[in-house]
């Protein structure tokens, strides 16, 4: 799978650096050309000579090599690489990458890299769980970088928790899978809806929901990384995306999302509707801020258009339509009935009351139900990996319709 691929492996200063030797070995065995760049502190955890011998290439750590007068160009390293892998990635390097700090050869190479970047964090559990680290990882995701989640287990500190670097085999197979599925959506245009809708009550209030938009943004990123042009229609969401293949259109209400979807759908090969669209909106929007009274208040609501059902009605034979069903009870039956009513090709069911699944968290546990009735139940995994599963199904659907 990696035959002839140029892999730039960045190693930072954490105890998991010892596993990087094995990772280099796996890459080389798979046929990749490997160059290793280390941070100065990584050299304290593993000898550059070990890595250079395995990689069959000199290990780079400094911009300037006084011994032979060589200048190690981060720009040419970044351009050489078909993939950059940073394993292990410490909290420090993750922080620098997220903030554009360029004070060593590894992070300057990262900033110069135009290729996909894979990051395998490794650190103690509290550092991993810290909001600063999680915020930086979210920022890197928004840049389109692929985070290979840390595993749970015994840590070098003796504590037990999440923070262990993913095993080298898993890292190597993530990269191999990436190349295997690369560009499978080239030439396709995919519409994705994401996030909540806000339905105005008055100038300062709205009816909304807890959707974060994380799932939809992960789908948009994954589709773009497979070569698709993506039209991401997002309700109010804090998520960021900066992939040049993604055109982001921000909307607020269900009606605006509906109008924007109707405008773009005809030019799309598929639509993935992950937005949590409000079913109702206030029948009247007060022009001025509503004042409190002693009386109870009743708001008259009127139905919003159902985007999925409307697209289901106008969908052409060659277009794929995918919906989500977020359920708290009777998940399979409800999802199946939405699939039929909305004329979807498949539906992604997630259960709001299952731990590690739903709106705000970074993971999801989903079941995909196809029109044929086939059900695929997945393990709980990061939303990024759930997005990959959904895009695999889309690719298959597009090849059969």
Catalytic residue numbers read 209
| Distance in angstroms (rounded) separating the CA atoms of residues 40 and 298 | 65
- Residue nearer to ligand CTP on the CB measure, 48 or 305: 305
Applying CB under 6 A, which residues contact ligand CTP?
193, 254, 273, 275, 277, 279, 304, 306-308, 323-326, 338
Q: Give 127 or 326: the residue with its C-beta nearer to ligand CTP.
A: 326
From CA 136, how far away is CA 140, in angstroms rounded?
6
Pairing state of beta strands 83-89 and 6-11?
A: parallel
Q: How far is the CB of 282 from ligand CTP (least distance, A)?
A: 15
Which among 142, 145, 35, 34 is positioned nearest to 89, based on CA atoms? 145
Give the shortest CB-346-to-ligand CTP separation in angstroms.
11
d(CA 392, CA 248): 22
Given the complex with ligand CTP, which of 88 and 195 has the nearer CB atom?
195
275-298 b/e (C-beta count within 10 Å ≥ 16 → b): bbbbeebbeeeeeeeeeeeeeeee
Least Å distance, CB 245 to ligand CTP, is 22
Q: Label residues 135-169 b or e (16+ Cβ within 10 Å = b).
A: ebbbbbbbebbbbbbbeeeebeeeeebbbbbbebe
Query: Which residue, 89 or 368, has its beta carbon nearer to ligand CTP?
Result: 368
User: Least distance in Å: CB of 94 to ligand CTP?
Assistant: 33
In angstroms, give the least distance from the CB of 347 to ligand CTP.
7
- Between 144 and 235, CB nearer to ligand CTP: 235
């Amino acid at each position: 799978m990696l035959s002839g691929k140029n892999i730039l492996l960045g190693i930072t200063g954490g105890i998991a650096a010892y596993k990087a030797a094995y990772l280099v070995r796996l890459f080389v065995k798979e046929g990749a050309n490997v160059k290793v760049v280390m941070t100065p502190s990584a050299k304290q955890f593993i000898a550059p000579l070990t890595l250079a011998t395995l990689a069959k290439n000199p290990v780079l750590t400094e911009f300037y090599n006084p011994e032979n007068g060589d200048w190690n160009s981060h720009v040419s390293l970044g351009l050489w690489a078909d993939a950059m892998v940073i394993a292990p990635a410490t909290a420090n390097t993750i922080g620098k990458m997220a903030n554009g700090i360029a004070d060593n050869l590894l992070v300057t190479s990262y900033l110069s890299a135009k290729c996909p970047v894979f990051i395998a964090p490794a650190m103690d559990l509290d550092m991993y769980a810290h909001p600063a680290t999680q915020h930086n990882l979210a920022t890197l995701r928004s840049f389109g970088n692929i985070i290979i989640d840390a595993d749970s287990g015994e840590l070098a500190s003796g504590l037990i928790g999440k923070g262990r670097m993913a095993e080298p085999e898993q890292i190597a197979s993530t990269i191999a899978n990436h190349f295997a599925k690369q560009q499978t959506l080239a030439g396709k245009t995919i519409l994705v809806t994401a996030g909540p809708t806000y339905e105005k009550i008055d100038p300062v209030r709205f009816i909304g929901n807890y959707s974060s938009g994380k799932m939809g943004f992960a789908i948009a990123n994954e589709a773009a990384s497979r070569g698709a042009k993506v039209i991401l229609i997002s309700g109010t969401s804090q998520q960021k995306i900066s992939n040049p293949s993604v055109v982001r259109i921000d909307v607020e209400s269900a009606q605006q999302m509906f109008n924007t979807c109707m405008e773009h759908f005809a030019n799309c090969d598929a639509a993935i509707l992950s937005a949590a669209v409000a079913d109702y909106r206030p029948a009247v929007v007060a022009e001025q801020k509503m004042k409190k009274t002693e009386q109870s208040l009743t708001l008259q609501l009127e139905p919003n258009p159902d985007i999925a059902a409307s697209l289901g009605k106008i969908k052409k034979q060659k277009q794929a339509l995918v919906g989500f069903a977020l359920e708290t009870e009777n998940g399979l039956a409800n999802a199946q009935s939405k699939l039929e009513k909305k004329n979807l090709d498949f539906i992604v069911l997630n259960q709001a009351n299952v731990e590690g699944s739903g709106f705000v968290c970074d993971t999801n546990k989903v079941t995909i139900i196809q029109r044929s009735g086939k059900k695929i139940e997945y393990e709980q995994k990061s939303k990024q990996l759930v997005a990959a599963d959904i895009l695999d199904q889309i690719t298959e659907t597009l090849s059969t319709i």
